[in-house]
Amino acid sequence: MRRFLALSALIWLASSVCGHAQSSMQPDRAKIDTLMRRYAGDIPGASLLVVRDGKAIVRRGFGYADLEKHTKADPTTNYRLASISKQFTAACILLLHQDGKLRLEDPVRKWLPELPASDENITVRNLLTHTSGLIDYEDLIPPERTTQIDDNDVLRMIALQHRLYFQPGSAHRYSNGGFVLLGLIVQRISGMDLADYMKKRIFQPLGMQYTLMYEHDRGPNVINRAYGYSEIDGKWTKTDQDVTSATRGDGGIYSSVDDLAKWDAALYTDGLLNAESRRLAFTPAEPIADPDVDYGFGWRLSGDTVWHSGESIGFRNIIIRWPKQHLAVILLSNRNEFQPYPLALTIGQLFLDR
């Protein structure tokens, strides 16, 4: 997500809705219905999960995953995660680091020698923390292009640039291209396709049975798939794919709230990522991303929360975790509005210990 609401506005919204909530009170179904009413009815919907100590407190679906087929959204519905995918790409890099196959300070050109000399000081760590200075690949796509670009297209476009926005490590600028390159690095080191590596090293071990990295018209179909919609001239129109929907390391995963609960649980143990990898993932990078929000490896860090949003054409998603309280709110939606972060933060406040 390139832009997000100021933290003060989010806190105000949360306190205005649920500031009177008491820690001993479990919100009733009617309260959740009220908060989620914007997704209810014969419209593109959402799936919501609130999980605490590994147990689902709220597990609901609202609206429709597919308007044309009248398929309702539920907790098993799989949505395009968009930038929530970045934490999984970062985890792949950390797994390779754990295996001794790369160093975070490796120059990116060690693994992607196609990149120009101007990129020689960019490290793997810079890509993980959005401090590389790479030119945004979205701005390099010819305006007349209608076919989808893939990861190799992104590499070729970036490799033709002999300039950066800033010297690596000197500033923060959100970079989808940096995570596409990370995905390519995973492939070159592992000798496996990125989708296969994620399946073998993350999804299968965690029992995320229906989570996958998807490319339009390639690979396996998405089971229980939600299709993306945008409201155009007062009518919901399917806008599920666009030119950038086939890139993978920056946003190509489909998953459900049920499967993401397994991912959340894994982040409390050494079963997948060891303690050092998890420390790295949740440590603020320098320079900071924003006065109120830091960035780790694929995660935003704000106060006592770690979170990330995901936006692509027709999808708006959020995962917010309160690690000290073993609480998480996951909200996935298949529509181009609303911003789910303030709503998920509000829902989480209902369950926090005071």
Which residues belong to the active site?
A: 83
Work out the angle between the directed axes of helices 151-159 and 176-190 (0-180°, nearest 10).
110
Strand order in the sheet with 212-213: 79-80, 253-255, 212-213
- Dist CA 89 CA 26 (whole Å): 35
The pair of three-digit structure tokens given for residue 149, joined into one six-digit string: 């670009």
Yes or no: say if 305 and 322 are a contact pair by the CB < 8 Å rule: yes
Which residue from 76, 70, 77 is spatially nearest to 41, judged by alpha carbons? 70
One-character DSSP codes across 168-232:
TTS-----HHHHHHHHHHHHHHHSS-HHHHHIIIIIHHHT-TT-EE-BTTBSSPPTTBPPPEEEE
Give the tokens for residue 283.
């440590």
Q: How many CA atoms lie within 13 A of 67 on its CB side?
A: 20
Strands 79-80 and 253-255, by their bridges, are antiparallel
Q: At what angle do helices 7-18 and 340-349 cross, to 10 degrees?
A: 50
- Please count the CA atoms within 13 angstroms of the CA of 183 that sit on its side-chain side: 30
Ramachandran region, residue 159 (left: φ > 0; alpha: ψ -120 to 50; beta: rest): alpha
**What would the two tokens of residue 260 be?**
């993401």
**CA distance linking residue 195 with residue 186, whole number of Å:** 10
**Angle at alpha carbon of residue 184, lines to 183 and 188, rounded to 5°:** 120
Per DSSP, 43 falls in state S
